[in-house]
Structure formats: C-alpha cells, structure tokens
Amino acid sequence: MTHTARPIDERTVAAKIKEIIHQQHIMTLATTSAGIPWAAPVYYAVLDESLYFFSNPDARHIQNVLDSKAAACAIYEDADAWIDIRGLQISGTINAVPAGRQAGRAVHAYLKRFPTIRHIFKPPAPIELGHFYRKFHARLYRFTPETITYTDNRIRFGFKTEISADRIVE
C-alpha cells in the first residue's frame, strides 16, 4: 500500500479524531506519581466531549491522579504494519463523577456502547451507582481531554498534528 503526503485541515483532523474515538473501545491511561509512570487500559464511553470509564478507586492509575488530576491517554486502531498506525495521544484530567444526572447520562452512554453489561444494573430499575460500587468495587470517572495529538502514518511516516480539545465539537 502506498501512502502519500496530502494536505490536512483542522476540520478534517477533527473528523478523524471523532471517528477514532467513536470506533475504538479501549484507551490506555497514563499517569505518574513520584516520577514513576504507570499505564492502564480501560473501556470508555463518550459523552459531552469527555471519556467515561469505570475503575477501582484503589487502582494505581486512580491513586496517581488524586492530587494533580493530570493524566494522558492513547487510543489507537489495530494495525498490522507500522505504515498503518493511526491514533490519538491525549492529555487531560481525570475526576470522579458523583451520583446525579451527569452520572446517569454517562452510565446510559456506557451501557449503549457495552450492552453485554446491562444485566449488572438490574433493569428496569434505575441505575444505582452505589450497587455497582458494592458489587464490583468500581466507580465512574471522567477523562476530560485538553490537547489531542492525531497521528497517522497513512498520511506520511511520523505525521502528527496537535489540536485543542475544545476544537472537537460533537
């Protein structure tokens, strides 16, 4: 497969970023504490330009962000050859999502994306995050992107362009 360099504008980059975010299901979170890095893959759902995921509050990646909230993540398509590598490197923040309307909307987005876990929430009863926490020791978190780097070796080897997350409008 031949890949050629071609111009790419911000609107096209934004569309490609949204495409990857919506097509993929796993992001690898990167955090650090006391200068020691850590990476952890999590399933995510997209809502209001944020990425929502469940995690154990005692997990190393969550403990690492308790003070600074700063984190990064990577979302990449599976590729059989280096020339087909395409994905995202995102910097942002992680915050716990308290029970309430936003949490309910995020869980609904998560269940729509991952319907095989719907039975955990015992429909048709309302979603109860406390039950989920007690059963699985997992809480809901929000990764809020700030800066997104789009990488696409199909455009040209090493192609990267950075865009502010607020330029990606749902």
pLDDT score of 167: 76
pLDDT score of 96: 95
> Could you tell me the pLDDT band of residue 125, with boundaries at 50, 70 and 90?
low
122 φ/ψ sector (left φ>0, alpha ψ -120 to 50, else beta) = left
Please write the tens of the pLDDT for every residue from 131-153: 777 777 889 999 999 999 999 99
The residue with tokens 């059989």 is: 80
Q: Name the CATH code of domain 10-164 (choices 3.40.50.970, 3.90.226.10, 3.40.50.1100, 2.30.110.10).
A: 2.30.110.10
Q: Are 135 and 129 in contact (CB under 8 A)?
A: no
Please write the tens of the pLDDT for every residue from 68-112: 899 999 999 999 999 999 999 999 999 999 988 999 899 889 989
Closest alpha carbon to 29 in 21, 20, 38: 38
Which helix (H) or strand (E) segment is 123 a member of?
none
Helix boundaries (H) for the chain:
10-23, 60-64, 101-113, 129-136
